[in-house]
Amino acid sequence: MGAIWDLVIMKPLINVLIVLSHYLFGSFGLAIIALTIVINLLMYPLTVKQLRATKSMQALQPKLAELQKKYAKDRARLAQEQMSLYRESGVSPAGCILPMLLQMPVWIALFYSIMKLLGVTPEDFLGLSQYLYSWPIVYTLLPLGNNFLWLNLATGDFVLAILVGGTMWLQQKMTTMSGTDPRQQSMNRMMQWMMPLMFAFLTLQFPSGLALYWVTSNVIRIVMQYFATGWGGLVPSPTGRPAGGKDKKYLKRIAQVEQVPSPPSGGSSVAETGPAPEEVAHGASGGTSQDSRRSYPEGARPIRRGPRRGKGHRDKRR
């Protein structure tokens, strides 16, 4: 297993980083940034899928809350209904976490690569020799320089820790799934702060090269997320509810699912499904539901996916 990991992941990554450094003015920092961009581009389809899945999950929150309320005393039935809801709505909870899971090996491989390439310890550097392709360029470029901007890529950095924490907070805020369950809301708030703080702390402990990957990756995901789903929870709506401008297109769909008559543009409505007003109280505009299906369990309606044309959801029904 270790040999396969080395052959398939570690060796290509290490050698690509060295070659990138060569072509990027000998800068290992630029090589890390370039590699991060490439990795994120490769994972773009999955990332978009995750963003959409997260949004879809968010849209289902009122219905999930309703199901929980309705079947509070029958857990088996509740689980059954929830599964039905996920299935009929085309939402896969796994879709929210798959890209994150896929990133883990990348993090691990990048961590090992940086440690070895920078020769953070003599042991790491000695081990590097077994990962190199027999390309002359690879042998003559080592060890890579560990200075980039103000950073020593081999050690932790306070400014970078702030950047990692800040960008992660922004990204978390954009994806935070609001819900009706007070425990969930509490947990969301906790996660929103805990993860950035922890990663900021880890940045101080780990080589800056790895943190450079984190902060670059966060920035890229923020940009992707903006174009896919808007600012999300980052920008509060006029009613005080979190809703970005681009969310309106999406929320309109939610309103359609809820079959709530939409008020004039910019206004807000109150969902008839009761216990989850915040999920549907964002400004939804225009159009009534084109969904004619009436056979779903109470409150559970399928979410129709809009045509996908690059930048996430677009509603043609204007």
Candidate list 180, 188, 216, 218; residue touching another protein; CB under 8 A: 188
Rounded to an integer, what is the distance from CA 139 to the centroid of its chain? 37
**Which tokens belong to 310?**
């690059």
In sequence order, what E strands does the chain have?
147-148, 151-152
Does 202 participate in binding another protein (rule CB under 8 A)? yes
Does 134 participate in binding another protein (rule CB under 8 A)? yes
Hey, how many other C-beta atoms are within 10 angstroms of the C-beta on 130? 10
Closest approach, Cβ 317 to another protein, in A, equals 28
Of 84, 89, 79, nearest to 53 (Cα)?
89
Judged by CB under 8 A, the chain residues 205 through 234 that form the site for another protein are 205-207
Of 160, 152, 157, nearest to 120 (Cα)?
152
Residues 32, 34: Cα–Cα separation, whole Å: 5
Closest approach, Cβ 185 to another protein, in A, equals 9
Nearer Cβ to another protein (155/285): 155
Judged by CB under 8 A, the chain residues 51 through 90 that form the site for another protein are 57, 64, 68, 75-76, 78-80, 82-83, 86
Residue 236's DSSP bridge partners are 242
- Contact status, residue 257 vs residue 289, Cβ threshold 8 Å: yes
Closest approach, Cβ 294 to another protein, in A, equals 25
Residues near another protein (CB under 8 A): 57, 64, 68, 75-76, 78-80, 82-83, 86, 93, 96-97, 100-101, 104, 107-108, 111-112, 115, 119-126, 129-130, 132, 134, 136, 139-140, 142-143, 154-156, 177, 179, 181, 183-184, 187-188, 191, 195, 198-199, 201-202, 205-207
